[in-house]
Copies of this chain bind each other. A is one copy, B any other.
Amino acid sequence: MPERADAARNRRAVLDATERLLAEGGGDHVSLDRVAALAGVGKGTVFRRFGSRAGLLQALLEERSRELREAVAEGPPPLGPGAPVRERLLAFLDGLGAIAERNAVLFAAHEQACAEDKYADPSYRFWHAHLAGLIAAGRPDADADFLAHALLATFDGDLVRHVTTPEDPRHFTRSVQRLALAVLGSD
């Protein structure tokens, strides 16, 4: 059975409200009561759709990154399969960096909310698997699993905000790319 029309409408309204609250007041400003009120929706609806605060933020993140995930999984090179490892890695970090730079507050709120089970988040697992695969391909001798975690650890919302300035909005991305190249080695 497909999603009912009103359900889809509400889903959208809730996500939009969340985004609005994130933008105007930071992560702590996003209480589920406020989200529901701003979305013109009952609190129960938010929970029925998203399960929890973490689920709500995850869904928003999911939405922001779906495009990248699809491009990575089955898009054309250099994001998708086929390109050399270095190019693919840089393209991926460029894409994810762009998302992080545009959604730093959301990233931060999501990390805060997920707390313990960050590594169970499907998005995280996808990014990690992709990164680890690339690293393993480029440096079979390295501890790809850890290095992938380490690279993803730099996508901390607060860190992104801390190094991103209006004058140089891509500073973070370039820095991560350089770090990744160092990790991959210069050979």
Spell out A's residues near B (CB within 8 Å).
26-28, 108, 112, 115-116, 118-119, 142-143, 145-147, 149-150, 153-154, 156, 158-159, 162-163, 172, 175-176, 178-179, 182-183, 185-186
Contacts of A163 in B (CB 8 A): 145-146, 149
- Known contacts: A143-B175, A182-B182. The answer to whether A119 contacts B154 by CB under 8 A is no
Contacts of A162 in B (CB 8 A): 119, 149
Contacts of A186 in B (CB 8 A): 185-186
A186 smallest CB distance to B (angstroms) = 8
CA distance A116 to B185 in the complex (A): 34
Q: How many chain copies?
A: 4
Contacts of A149 in B (CB 8 A): 154, 159, 162-163
A147 smallest CB distance to B (angstroms) = 7
CA distance A112 to B114 in the complex (A): 10
- Inter-subunit contact A118/B158 (CB<8 Å): yes
Choose from B116, B118, B159, B183 the contact partner of A182 (Cβ within 8 Å). Answer: B183
- Inter-subunit contact A178/B143 (CB<8 Å): yes
Closest 7 A/B residue pairs (Cβ): A153-B153, A146-B175, A150-B154, A153-B154, A182-B183, A182-B182, A143-B175
CA distance A159 to B172 in the complex (A): 21
Choose from B143, B150, B158 the contact partner of A116 (Cβ within 8 Å). Answer: B158
Contacts of A147 in B (CB 8 A): 175, 179
Beyond A146-B172, A150-B176, list 18 extra A-B contacts (CB 8 Å). A28-B115, A112-B112, A112-B115, A116-B158, A119-B158, A142-B178, A143-B175, A145-B163, A146-B179, A149-B162, A150-B159, A150-B179, A153-B153, A153-B159, A179-B183, A182-B182, A182-B183, A185-B186
